[in-house]
Amino acid sequence: MYERSLRKCPGTRRTGATTARGPAITAGTIRPVRRAIAGIGRTLVTLGLLILLFVVYQLWGTGIFTARAQDHLKHDIHAKIQRLQDENDTVGPVPTTVPKPGSTATTRTTVGFSHRLAPLVTPAEGQGEGVISIPSVGINFYYVEGTSRDDLKKGPGHYPATPLPGTIGNAAIAGHRTTYLHPFGDLDKVKIGDDIIITTLEGTTFDYRMYKQMIVAPTEVSVVANTPDAELTLTACHPKGSAAKRIVVKAKLVAAKSAKLTKSKPRPATAGTGKGRTTAGLAEGLSGQTRSFVPTIAWGIVAALIGLAWWWTFRRWRHPATWLIGVLPFVVALFPFYVFLERALPAGY
């Protein structure tokens, strides 16, 4: 009764603990938070798509350059083989005038004559050198001289510090496993006893038989050390998509199924040969190309500006035509950005 009467009296106040209320949360305060979260989400999704597109470019886009290079090497190597075979054809006995033995008089007789040329010189780095084929795993590529980053974009590359295939010694060839048409992508599937066939610029064929596979560090140069017998060593990054290790396949020449060997001639001693060159060759390109940094940044800025303009235009005029008009210049700027970015990043695929 007393408490009820207090509630009815307008002049009375309730004493005791009360609960303090904070500022009210309204739609006006929630809206900026939602916009910020949505903006962050869209940014992350866009970055994810750009990264995914870059991975797609690395896995398949880089193959465009290698396919064009392989086509060029195909015509170049076959033309050299045909030209060399034509020039090396031995001409049969031809009549010529020579002194008769024991006499100063001359008589017409027949002397064997040959146009056969000296052994081929090693091609310049980046030039075609032959064909490598591993039928058991479907590998068939034209290979070049050299193992630099630019050389391996064309296909497998022969280590310049090692003997040439088809000569006495340990010839070594490197190749990519994931990018640039992944010529050695299935190198881990090569089994003991499988044939590895090399065709040189002379048109001669050499059959090597695989006898060992191993995983080594990138700086393990002993795998390409010279040998007294004719051997072939293939190297590639391991595992796929990483440059942490190297997979190495060793093979020995099958003399009965190969052309006649020649002795390997020692190379002139230069600053780019020897053990140091071999060590550098095994880890070639892993640090990326510093000369690609500036073009990467420049094309990145161009692509970003075009992308922002595209986004702003689409927000003002939400129409499919606006989206289609903006995507073309954005892709045109994005492609060279990916090309230079791939060159600037460490290689290892």
Residue 128 is encoded by which pair of tokens?
């075609």
Distance from C-alpha of 325 to C-alpha of 77, rounded to nearest angstrom? 44
The rounded percent of the chain whose pLDDT value lies above 70 is 73
Strands 139-145 and 170-174: unpaired
What's at 69, amino acid-wise? A
- pTM of the predicted model as reported, rounded to 2 decimal places: 0.72
What are the backbone dihedrals phi and psi of residue 99, each rounded to the nearest 5 degrees, phi first? Answer: -65, 140
- Does 237 qualify as catalytic in the annotation? yes
pLDDT of residue 153: 92
Give pLDDT tens digits for 119-161: 556 888 999 999 999 999 999 999 999 998 889 999 999 999 8
pLDDT of residue 279: 47
Cβ-proximal residues to 347 (8 Å cutoff; 6+ apart), any chain = 149, 243, 285, 286, 288
Give pLDDT tens digits for 14-61: 555 555 555 666 656 777 788 888 878 888 988 899 889 988 888 888
Cβ-proximal residues to 273 (8 Å cutoff; 6+ apart), any chain = 160, 161, 267
User: Does 276 score more than 60 pLDDT?
Assistant: no
**Banded pLDDT at 264 (limits 50, 70, 90):** low
The CATH T-level fold of domain 38-87+128-264+272-285 is: Sortase; Chain: A; (2.40.260)
pLDDT of residue 92: 45
pLDDT of residue 21: 59
Domain boundary assignment for the chain: 38-87+128-264+272-285, 290-344
**Average confidence (pLDDT) over 323-343:** 87
Catalytic residue among 9, 75, 115, 176: 176
Q: Among the listed ranges 37-41, 65-69, 88-92, 219-223, which one has the minimum average pLDDT value?
A: 88-92
pLDDT of residue 27: 59
Give pLDDT tens digits for 206-237: 999 999 999 999 888 899 999 999 999 999 99
